[in-house]
Structure formats: structure tokens, C-alpha cells
């Protein structure tokens, strides 16, 4: 029986490059180990922050294997590796799922193809995910993120239909719709179908609605802070949890305003001392120097002070 990843907080890890846009292995390893020390339940390789669409098949497989090996050698065998395996054809997506298993991933997370939005009606979306899930050698999760799928937004009925598939075990909702999350989380136990918030700005509300946790970009910067919020929720300290959630919400918005992926890399480089904020085009790089005096960077760095105190 296929099982979902356990509840907790996961990180769609950024992937560091050197000046030649090759994988910066030492920086990637430093990042993976800092996240693991920060208590993450798992690392998502090639989520939207991992620049999957900018990588060759060989690079995608290598990044998964490097992450798994780094965790194992660092004593973090229990930290999961989930692989983003979305592609624009059913055939390629199937291959990427096989590659993910071979590279050491425990689960795959799959975006809906979006090159031809008019052809991606509900029936075709369901057909695509079922066909790939049939072929995937490891448990399968649905990734709903309209921003990167030409506005395609799977509703709760569509996801609930797909949840009946024996190998489809969860979803990441980067759409940010708390009503959708609650409808799904109240329909399926998280031991059978795990419903994860896809953004830190509704992490605590998602927990109140029986969500399984978070897979969110801001965890790249402040993993321990996310662990603290989860702990406060588990202890029933909702007042402090809500106060911390407010800070996460402001920081999550600030990271978006700093330019997303390159902003995450620049903030990490400046505050934790590894990696350079190189991105592959057409993404725009953000220099570390641009963070100085930036009000959004200051918002994030206030939370980093808490991170470093935990």
C-alpha cells in the first residue's frame, strides 16, 4: 500500500549554481545539512524553488541523488527526499518518476502540464495524473500551483477524485486556498492522503484545519522558526502560534517581493555564509549587495535573528 509522507514541515530547496551555472556541490550540501539541522521532515528537490525546468534530466537526477547522499552521510537517514517530477508530456513525466526512485526519492510531486491550457480540462487532468500515477514506482503527490501552470487551478472535487487512486497519496496547495485545504483534509485522513499548505503565510491556519503541515519556500531561510510554530501548535499554545504566524506571513510576502528564488539564495548567502545567488535565465539574479537598506530584506532578517536564537 502506498503511504503519504508523514506530517511535518518540508522545504522546496533552492539549488545553488557556480558562475558557470553548473551545480555548486559544496553549497548544495551546506544548504541540505543546515535544513536537516533545522529539523525539517523532508526536502523537496525540484519544487518550484529548485529550478527543475532549467535542468537537464541528468542534472535533475544528480541533484536528487546528491541530496539523498548528503543526508545519509550526515546522519539524517530519516529525513525524506521528495522529487518534483513535473514535465509537459505524460511520457517524460513517467520517466522522471522512475529517475526519482533510482536517485533515492521516497515520493514524487507532480505539476499539471500547462503548455496547452485549453486542452487541459478536468477529464484530461484526471487522465494525466492517473496515468502517471499508474506508472510511478513510488507514491505520488499532486502539486497545485496556478502561478506556474498557466493559471490551471485544480479544485477540491478534482483533487478528491484523484485521491481515490491507490498510488496518489497527497497534495501540495500553493494556491493558498484554505477552504480547499480544509475540504480535503476533513475528507481524507492524513495517513491516507496528506494535504500540505504550499506557503508559509497560511501554515498555522492549515494546521487548525487538520492539514498535514507545510511544504514552503520560506523554510529555506528559517527552518527552525517553522519547527517552533509546529511545536506551539502541538502544545496548544495558539496565542503565541498566531503571533509567530503573523511574522511568517510578513516574511513570506517579503521574500516574494525580493524576487523569489534569487532572493532566497541572496538572503541565505548573506546570512548563512554559503552559496552565491546565481540563477539560470530567464530568472533575474539579485545581488547580495541589493539587500542592504531594503525594507523587505530587513523584515526577513528580523526573523533570521529568531532563527539563530533557537
Q: Average pLDDT, whole number, for the chain? A: 97
- Asked if pLDDT for residue 106 goes beyond 90, the answer is yes
Asked if residue 269 belongs to a domain, the reply is: no
Distance CA 258, CA 193 (A): 34
* Beta partners for residue 44, in sequence order: 12, 82
Distance CA 88, CA 81 (A): 23
pLDDT at 54: 94
Asked if residue 284 belongs to a domain, the reply is: no
pLDDT at 131: 98
DSSP string over the chain: ---PPPSEEEEE----B-TTSSB-HHHHHHHHHHHHHTT-SEEEETSGGGTGGGS-HHHHHHHHHHHHHHHHHTT-TTSEEEEE---SSHHHHHHHHHHHHHHT-SEEEEEPP-SSGGG--HHHHHHHHHHHHHH-SS-EEEEE-GGGTTT----HHHHHHHTTSTTEEEEEETT--HHHHHHHHTTS-TTTSEEEESSGGGHHHHHHTT--EEE-GGGGT-HHHHHHHHHHHHHT-HHHHHHHHHHHHHHHHHHHHTTTHHHHHHHHHHHHS-------TTSPP--GGGGTT-HHHHHHHHHHHHHHH-
Asked if residue 195 belongs to a domain, the reply is: yes
Asked if residue 252 belongs to a domain, the reply is: no
pLDDT at 151: 95
pLDDT at 71: 98
- Asked if pLDDT for residue 1 goes beyond 90, the answer is no
Give this prediction's pTM: 0.97
Domain that holds residue 205: 8-237
Asked if residue 283 belongs to a domain, the reply is: no
CATH number for the domain harbouring residue 158: 3.20.20.70
The pLDDT tens digits for 10-29 are: 999 999 999 999 999 999 99
- Number of Cβ within a 10 Å radius of residue 78: 10
Any known ligand binding at 125?
Answer: no
Asked if residue 304 belongs to a domain, the reply is: no
Q: Are strands 168-173 and 8-12 parallel, antiparallel or unpaired?
A: unpaired
Distance CA 197, CA 171 (A): 9
Asked if residue 303 belongs to a domain, the reply is: no
Contacts of 115 (CB under 8 A, 6+ apart): 88, 150
Catalytic residues: 143, 172
The pLDDT tens digits for 110-154 are: 999 999 999 999 999 999 999 999 999 999 999 999 999 999 999
The pLDDT tens digits for 85-96 are: 999 999 999 999
pLDDT at 26: 98
CA dihedral 142→147→153→156, nearest 10 degrees, is: 60
Confidence of residue 221 (pLDDT cuts 50, 70, 90): very high
pLDDT at 88: 97
Asked if residue 88 belongs to a domain, the reply is: yes
Total domains present in the chain:
1
Amino acid at each position: 500500500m502506498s503511504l503519504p509522507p508523514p506530517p511535518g514541515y518540508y522545504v522546496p530547496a533552492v539549488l545553488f549554481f557556480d558562475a558557470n551555472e553548473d551545480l555548486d556541490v559544496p553549497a548544495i550540501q551546506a544548504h541540505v545539512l543546515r535544513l536537516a539541522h533545522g529539523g525539517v521532515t523532508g526536502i523537496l528537490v525540484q519544487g518550484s524553488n529548485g529550478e527543475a525546468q532549467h535542468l537537464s534530466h541528468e542534472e535533475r537526477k544528480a541533484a536528487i541523488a546528491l541530496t539523498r547522499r548528503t543526508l545519509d552521510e550526515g546522519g539524517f537517514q530519516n529525513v525524506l527526499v521528495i522529487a518534483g517530477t513535473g514535465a509537459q508530456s505524460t511520457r517524460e513525466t513517467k520517466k522522471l518518476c522512475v529517475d526519482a526512485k533510482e536517485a533515492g526519492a521516497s515520493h514524487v510531486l507532480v505539476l499539471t502540464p500547462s503548455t496547452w491550457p485549453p486542452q487541459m480540462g478536468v477529464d484530461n487532468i484526471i487522465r494525466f495524473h492517473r496515468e502517471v500515477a499508474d506508472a510511478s514506482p513510488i507514491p505520488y503527490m499532486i502539486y497545485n500551483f496556478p502561478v506556474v501552470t498557466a493559471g490551471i487551478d485544480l479544485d477540491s472535487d478534482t483533487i478528491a477524485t484523484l485521491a481515490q487512486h491507490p498510488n496518489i497519496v497527497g497534495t501540495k496547495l500553493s494556491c493558498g486556498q484554505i477552504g480547499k485545504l480544509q475540504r480535503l483534509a476533513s475528507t481524507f485522513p492524513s495517513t491516507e492522503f496528506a494535504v500540505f499548505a504550499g506557503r508559509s503565510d497560511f501554515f498555522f491556519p492549515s494546521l487548525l484545519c487538520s492539514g498535514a503541515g507545510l511544504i514552503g519556500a520560506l523554510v529555506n531561510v528559517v527552518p527552525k522558526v517553522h519547527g517552533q510554530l509546529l511545536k506551539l501548535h502541538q502544545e496548544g499554545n495558539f496565542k503565541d502560534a498566531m503571533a509567530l504566524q503573523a511574522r511568517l506571513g510578513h516574511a513570506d510576502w517579503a521574500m516574494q517581493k525580493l524576487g523569489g528564488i534569487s532572493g532566497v539564495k541572496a538572503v541565505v548567502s548573506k546570512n548563512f555564509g554559503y552559496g552565491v545567488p546565481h540563477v539560470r535565465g530567464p530568472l533575474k539574479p539579485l545581488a547580495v549587495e541589493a539587500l542592504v537598506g531594503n525594507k523587505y530584506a530587513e523584515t526577513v532578517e528580523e526573523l533570521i535573528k529568531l532563527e539563530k536564537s533557537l
